[in-house]
Amino acid sequence: MPPAPKPAARRKPAPRPKPKARRRAIRWPLIKFPRWSLTAWLYGLLILNVSVGLAVSPITGAQKVRVVGASADDYERLTRHMQIAQGIPALRFSALQLESLVLAREDLARVSFRQNLFGRGLLTIRPRVPVARLEGERPVWLSDQGVIYAGPARPGTDGLPRFRISSEAREANLAMVGAWDSARIANLCVLARKELGGTAWTVERDARGVISLDNGSGARVVLGTSEAFSDKVGTLRRILEMQPDILSQVRELNLTAPNNPAAVPLAPKS
């Protein structure tokens, strides 16, 4: 007998394609707000109402203002200016307006005004510090910062040095501001009062910018430019300690070079 035929080999089924992975949607965590009770909402509205009322109510205007740094003569003028702050709510009032009114006086260097919602205010004033008085009929001063300003005489200004600008310098530059080193001139006035004692000195600047000192004895102490004032005043102090009457014996004492002072004698009497 012929052999029996072999059964046909079974084919393996083709692999099924894998399903594509589905992207999962990102789930953000839900923000849970607290559930306030009706009482909490009412309290919140009450606080908001009171806050807005304080901010816009006239009772928050400056009712009492404390002034720091002003002299007794300034209180009447400051009282008139501070009346503009009364009755105006604190958040609606411009402090700059009051500061500008107070700063209308040239003898004040800085003004600051602060107030709160309870009707209290603080006005801080910083007056200018005079170190010399300009010669003339009007009381005009030179401050320690080199600012020329007009203002009334204050206590302690009687013994200040005088500052004189020659007529030629005034004609050459009427404005004067920026044409000379006023800050150094102010420093010279402080040094003259501190180092040279109780003599009333006069500081003069001519049209060429030459600085000199005069104590009324007739002699002119020439300092030259506005440099090394400390060395020049120190040299003058030592000369006066050794020869107190030297300025009545010479016509000019030149300290342009402080290490090499020179004196111009008086003209011989005929």
Each residue's pLDDT tens digit, 19-53:
665 666 566 665 555 666 667 777 777 777 766 66
Query: What's the rounded Cα separation, in Å, for the pair 102 and 125?
Result: 9
Span(s) in the chain for CATH 3.10.20: 58-127
Strand order in the sheet with 108-115: 64-68, 120-127, 108-115
Each residue's pLDDT tens digit, 181-235:
788 899 999 998 888 876 788 998 887 888 999 888 888 899 988 888 899 999 9
Kindly give the pairing relationship between strand 120-127 and strand 250-254.
unpaired
Spelled out in words, what is the top-level CATH class assigned to the domain 58-127?
Answer: alpha beta
Structure tokens at 27: 């789930």
Span(s) in the chain for CATH 3.40.50: 130-265
**Global pTM?**
0.68
Q: What is the CATH number of domain 130-265?
A: 3.40.50
